[in-house]
A and B are shown apart, each in its own frame.
Chain A
């Protein structure tokens, strides 16, 4: 496993249980560190991966499906991750906005992904589940890190 030497793709998967979200977050964070992202961007990776994996676990719970949730991480200066589940996600809407602050206990996950990642897309995959594609970092983040 070379460090910061060119592009690399890492795949892993986990059973859709809440206790595994921390594990996915930890692995994604370690990979983000390895691809040279500054500390703040590594925290962003941990946050958006946690949100995507939380939604995936809940989507599996909703229809009692036991298939694994899979993550594919592409490391190439920036961090791109695809989180795919086979669960029953809520209807995908293109414009899920933040709830009026303080009024709702849920509904923050997708807006957080959209606001923290530099790219966030949500698509139905071939299993009927959802694939979330998130990008964190890139040239701007590295410049900020170098300047810090």
Chain B
């Protein structure tokens, strides 16, 4: 069984949106990390990571998101979209729901 991530980029207002689909774990997290790094290297300063279609997220996925936030300097903006209760729970139990700007729908971006 091979689990792949779906990654799609689009623009929404001033934001570059990276929509992720699938399960983010130790196997797929490097794919997400590489994509987000290349987006930042292209000069994007307003980034929206849309996790609406993510069925599973664990600590390795969190690590990628924290790494992305740290790479984005002051004056840049990172928004995370997420509405699945069990994915939100991972942010909540780790205290990261207070650190990330989390919206429940892409319409709120």
**Chain A contact residues, CB within 8 Å of chain B:** 18-19, 21-23, 25-26, 40, 43-44, 46-47, 50-51, 54, 57-58, 98, 101-106, 108-109, 111-112, 115-116
Contacts and interface: CB of A to CB of B under 8 A. Distances in A.
Contact of B25 (A22, A58, A101): A22
Contact of A105 (B63, B85, B98): B63
11 contacts: A19-B1, A22-B1, A47-B89, A50-B56, A58-B26, A102-B99, A106-B63, A108-B62, A108-B94, A112-B93, A115-B94
A22 B96 contact: no
B89 to A, nearest CB: 8
B23 interface: yes
The 3 A-B pairs at the shortest CB distance, nearest first, are namely: A43-B86, A108-B59, A102-B99
A38 B64 CA distance: 30
B86 A47 contact: yes
